[in-house]
Structure 1
Amino acid sequence: MLSYRHAFHAGNHADILKHLCWLGVIQHLKQKTKPFVLFDTHAGAGEYPLNDDFASQNKEYDTGMTRLLDTQAVSPLLDDYLTLSRPFWQQQIYPGSPRLMAGALREQDHAHVMELHPTEIDNLQRSMRRLHNEAIHVHHRDGLEGLIALTPPNPNRGAVLIDPPYEQKKEYKQVADTAAKVYSRWQNAQMVIWYPLLSGRAEEKAQACQSMLDAASQLGKNAFCAELTVAENTHDAGMYGSGVLVINPAWQLDEQLTQAMKEVAGQLGPQAGFSLRWLKTESM
């Protein structure tokens, strides 16, 4: 259960989608001066040296972040993402969601980052300790359990990033159940749930993922899913892309994410494509 190490996949296509969306959520929260609270349930190591044994094994960043390095972004969201990321890239480091988040926080904001893996939590604590920011709280605990325990926050403005490895099929239902419990007590939360796009050889997990999307998308007033594909969906393709489900998205986040991701897809190769669809539009 604790075998997953995100360093194998650092900087790949899934990270780009996930982190662009998460940054877009944060930037919208910053449009008001009121403070907010962020939660990252599967924070990982915080940052990933590209010369690390794990990251350099498959070099997934070469088909992801590396292709964006020289991009002159038209999209303001993509430009913000590249501006935050480039100082790390110059040091041959990919910044995970906690480091990107930390770079976007203001003095009045707070964050809770959670990680259960015994090695990853050590790396995360070191990464966050270097920031000397007492507003970022690091928790060595199960992220879904921690999210339920720590919400609703005070103040109750804020957002959640849920990004499990989905090593086991049951994790999809656990995510849906957690989202429902959080929403029942914190109804104005924005939630970002990352998920893989899996081909026919992983049919049971793909069905579990669809069930999760069906259930979680009904929680808020509005919800959309945004998906990036990087390969043809053949039976044996495996993970051919990924998506994010956004519950209670901020106004125009869909347009800003679409503009950014279409630029990204154009850099990732001829098989890359992006789509966004609304799953619930109760109050637009």
Structure 2
Amino acid sequence: MLSYKHAFHAGNHADVIKHLGWIAVIDYLCKKNKPFTLFDTHAGAGQYSLDDEQASKNSEYESGIARLVDTAMAEPLVEKYLTLCGEFYQQHYYPGSPVIAATLLRDNDQLHVMELHPAEIPKLQASLKGLARGQVHIHHRDGLEGLNALAPPSPVRGAVLIDPPYELLSEYQSVTDTVNAILKKWAQAQIVIWYPLLSARAGQKSGCSERMVEALTESGKTAFTAELHVADNSSDTGMYGSGLLFINPSWQLDTQLTDALNAIAPALGDNIKVSVTWRKRESA
């Protein structure tokens, strides 16, 4: 959707869980001395000033990264996330997923970032300029279409982040169709899908994420979800949290996310609930 701007939501609770998960996936890929390819299907502007009109309209970062950045966290994944974000937050910026990935890239790795909104492309180019050691490719195109066109990549080892705005009902089915198509030709891909958790107030969209997760659970060899609930699922809540579906997750990623989410929950608020749930385990 060309009307969507992520700047309004930069650094909120949804970004926190999404970026913790994305860092964990990339960190695991970096443990082997083999190159990898990353895809980010909805890249946005790359980084966001927390002082600009869009980010400060609702100041959503105040209930997310702002509650964590000055907190001492011994948990390794959270510490890495806060160290990376802290460098930007000191200048009152928040790094988006393309900048996070580019920062972690090594010399022989590849990163493909895709964004359809024409106004975001110059910002994305500026955000990524001179940042990465590996090869960064910026695509002005629909992210799901671009992913389908470029998979399987070279190098074939790698991961995908899919996080559309879900402004249209059709986006849930588009994600499902794309993931199924990708896994038919790139079976070993690690795929991370962010999704909103919406109450009855969202109307037709309520329950769509849950149905999408259910439909995609069988697509890979293994799958689990990690969710962060910031409010009760009551009829007037709207978005009460968000989650990540990991398809073909790396070894011990579930443990990492469990430890990380449990570590940040007290700092985010009194009513925060976290869960990590296996949806499909590999057959014995």
TM-score bracket for this pair, using the shorter chain length: over 0.9
Contact 2:103–2:132 (Cα < 8 Å) also in 1 = no
Contact 1:222–1:282 (Cα < 8 Å) also in 2 = yes
Contact 2:108–2:134 (Cα < 8 Å) also in 1 = no
Residue 180 of structure 1: aligned partner: 180
Give how far 1:71 is off. Answer: 1.6
Contact 1:50–1:94 (Cα < 8 Å) also in 2 = yes
Cα distance between partner residues in 2 of 1:5 and 1:99: 17
Task: Report the AA paired with residue 11 of structure 1.
Answer: G
Unaligned runs of 5+ residues in structure 2 are none
CA RMSD of aligned residues (A): 1.2
TM-score in terms of structure 2 length: 0.97
Per-residue CA distance 1:70-118 (angstroms, 9 max, x = gap): 2211211111111111110011100000111111111111100000011
Residue 103 of structure 1: aligned partner: 103
Unaligned runs of 5+ residues in structure 1 are none
Cα distance between partner residues in 1 of 2:44 and 2:185: 26
Residue 227 of structure 2 corresponds to residue 196 of structure 1:
no
Cα distance between partner residues in 1 of 2:118 and 2:90: 28
Contact 2:44–2:120 (Cα < 8 Å) also in 1 = yes
Per the alignment, do residues 5 and 70 of structure 1 end up closer, same or farther by CA in structure 2, a change over 3 Å counting? same
Residue 273 of structure 1: aligned partner: 273
Task: Report the AA paired with residue 161 of structure 1.
Answer: L
Residue 261 of structure 2: aligned partner: 261
Contact 2:64–2:268 (Cα < 8 Å) also in 1 = yes
Residue 28 of structure 1: aligned partner: 28
Moved more, 183-192 or 258-267: 258-267
Moved more, 232-241 or 118-127: 118-127
Residue 73 of structure 2 corresponds to residue 73 of structure 1:
yes
Residue 45 of structure 2 corresponds to residue 41 of structure 1:
no
The SS at the match of 1:275 is strand
Give how far 1:131 is off. Answer: 2.4
Per-residue CA distance 1:180-235 (angstroms, 9 max, x = gap): 00000000000000000000122421332222111211111110011000011110
Cα distance between partner residues in 1 of 2:134 and 2:18: 25
Contact 1:37–1:156 (Cα < 8 Å) also in 2 = yes
The SS at the match of 1:188 is coil
Give how far 1:27 is off. Answer: 0.5
Residue 56 of structure 2 corresponds to residue 56 of structure 1:
yes
Per-residue CA distance 1:110-162 (angstroms, 9 max, x = gap): 10000001111121011112426560100000000000001000111000000
Residues 84-99 of structure 1: matches in 2 within 5 Å? 84-99=84-99
Residue 208 of structure 2: aligned partner: 208
Cα distance between partner residues in 2 of 1:10 and 1:22: 16
Residue 161 of structure 1: aligned partner: 161
Residue 129 of structure 2: aligned partner: 129
The alignment-based identity, stated in percent, is: 57
Per the alignment, do residues 34 and 132 of structure 1 end up closer, same or farther by CA in structure 2, a change over 3 Å counting? closer
Task: Report the AA paired with residue 121 of structure 1.
Answer: I
Cα distance between partner residues in 2 of 1:91 and 1:158: 31
Size of the aligned set, in residue pairs, is 284
